[in-house]
Structure 1
């Protein structure tokens, strides 16, 4: 359930890149999250995406640009570049993505290529919660991240969840992970409570069906920004206080989520979590 000091958290718009959404809220009391997912190397749409992001950053002081994984695989200019994936890394870095998770195809070039992609975006937080990294990817991403809204007591907590079942097992050496189950979903809220954040966001590369389960079993999650199954939700789903957004694939659209907040009340205190997190220890890499 969305805390009472957040006055509105439900306007999720799929914006074609030709025109930014016209929002009427107070810019200084509004958080805009621009989300992409499953871009699969589509370089052609980056100029339009850059224009959209520039428009929002010019109007709103609090804008986050996020992605839910699968940057790689699907464009020969990206796939066959001398340093595989580098053109996309350069463009994502120029757009200054704030926080992202990974997708299953982001291991298609191998772990070293993913590591180089992460190092090529030093200003971006990479958050992956249900994966234990290999030595190659050690210190490349965190299970959790918190981003404060400058000048306010508001902070946004992020976790990232990914389904690696379709990843080539030859790319998985040293990596262990777990697909969340019902009990894991019920414990997600504890991770956010541990860090006392005001707004709770999940970057999910689990797919639409898993995101629906997460909405059912994880109360107090404000926003799920999903990917993996290339679903498009033109107006998002709002159920049990959680907003779910999916934006299709290959940068056909960007998701724009508007959260209007009040800064009058301080963030609440929460009880200690009831179960350990993350869930990955001891689980081998799996593949279907």
Structure 2
């Protein structure tokens, strides 16, 4: 199939034909934040194999390979389908994302030997026998050239570890990823191209390149789910978005052992026909009667606000709470269409096994929680937005700099104590969270959703936004 990616490689081949014998080209193909979207793997396989037919290729992933597809996360061997598909496609290296730890470090430690390629992490230090110390870097040789790849994962999200529950990281420490990346600058003396495979997010990648110009030739990024193609201080920074929408294509031209140029583009995988063999593999994973079983229906499409509202309402009702909060990052589908709802969709919507927690809070304590999250200078991808959706309306007031200075609760009385339900992730991780009588009820949010659709279908979504942001008058 001829498409834009093939055209790119064809042009590269023509260019190479006119080069001196000392000039070579390597194509680095990259993915990030796949989140178990294996339905797009047949197109990915077609793209990779076409590239290998015409070029010297290195295939790299920048983390978050699972969490987001029940057919992977709840497979008979949990998470294994994405591992097997990536092994078959012949990935050369990958780094850790925060979601690799969603089932705990012991589970991840058991999974690592199943990967046929190196999973690298320079800023992960293990003090537990259940999680082997990962290599900081790997060196890949292609066509007589040596590529050094160093891996890092964010520790900026919460409690000096990647985003997730504290217990998932027991026995592990995560030094600052930028400092650890800089420590491997001397690897350049042993390789011809130095690449940072980063799950820090694009703003941190830019920050690192700004401070450390020329240390790395290329940063293959992830975590922030954006399409990135920019050069900062001599370092090319890339990212493909999320969910295998694109494959990243970095063309590196060498003269002798010196990189002459690096160019990047994101190529949509929708431009490819699926590979037949991989299509059959993926279809077999989707043939899961337990997950395919319908449990209810929606009378209209629920958007992301409607889904968040459903979470907060069910949590509050189940625990007899006056206020329900849920963080929007935990709502993993952007919408659910009108019609039937399957078990798989419920676990795609909430893939973390999150539980309901209850606390006693005053409006002032709620205000501090919301404002601290809104003004967070560290986890910038989750700041300056409505993060905590709620059963109770509120308005965030901002100053001329866009910082939160107040939160108004029109339906709550100042000074009064209210019972509040909230998901276990913010309960255990959010800063400035002050409360009394906190407890994790152990009630699974997926169970609330399953019970609701079984007993209230066709369910009518509530897509009304009850939270807002506006400038202070």
| TM-score of the pair, normalised by structure 1 | 0.78
Is the alpha carbon distance of 1:21 and 1:80 closer, same or farther for their aligned partners in structure 2, counting shifts above 3 Å? farther
Q: What does 1:229-244 align with in structure 2 at a 5 Å threshold?
A: 229-233=224-228, 236-244=229-237
Aligned equivalents of 2:110, 2:181: Cα separation in 1: 34
Aligned equivalents of 1:170, 1:245: Cα separation in 2: 32
- Residue 102 of structure 1 and its aligned partner are, at CA, apart by 0.9
CA RMSD of aligned residues (A): 2.4
1:40 to 35, 40, 51: 35
1:171 has 2:164 as partner: no
Q: From the two aligned structures, give the one with the greater helix fraction.
A: 2
Aligned equivalents of 1:75, 1:99: Cα separation in 2: 23
1:50 has 2:45 as partner: yes
Aligned equivalents of 2:184, 2:150: Cα separation in 1: 11
SS for the counterpart of 1:97 is coil
Is the alpha carbon distance of 1:46 and 1:40 closer, same or farther for their aligned partners in structure 2, counting shifts above 3 Å? same
Aligned length: 243
User: Runs of 4 or more off by more than 6 Å in structure 1?
Assistant: none
Is the alpha carbon distance of 1:102 and 1:109 closer, same or farther for their aligned partners in structure 2, counting shifts above 3 Å? same
1:89 has 2:83 as partner: yes
Aligned equivalents of 1:82, 1:113: Cα separation in 2: 15
1:22 has 2:8 as partner: yes
| TM-score of the pair, normalised by structure 2 | 0.48
1:147 has 2:140 as partner: yes
1:98 to 88, 92, 96: 92
Aligned equivalents of 1:185, 1:114: Cα separation in 2: 22
- Residue 21 of structure 1 and its aligned partner are, at CA, apart by 4.9
Aligned equivalents of 2:40, 2:222: Cα separation in 1: 18
Contact 1:20–1:55 (CA under 8 A) maintained in structure 2: yes
- Partner residue, 1:203: 197
* Long gaps (5+) in structure 1: 1-16, 266-285
SS for the counterpart of 1:77 is helix
- Partner residue, 2:252: 259
- Residue 111 of structure 1 and its aligned partner are, at CA, apart by 2.4
1:125 has 2:118 as partner: yes
1:247-273 CA-to-partner distances (Å, cap 9, x unmatched) read 1011100100000111277xxxxxxxx
- Partner residue, 2:26: 31
Aligned equivalents of 1:198, 1:210: Cα separation in 2: 25
Q: From the two aligned structures, give the one with the greater strand fraction.
A: 2
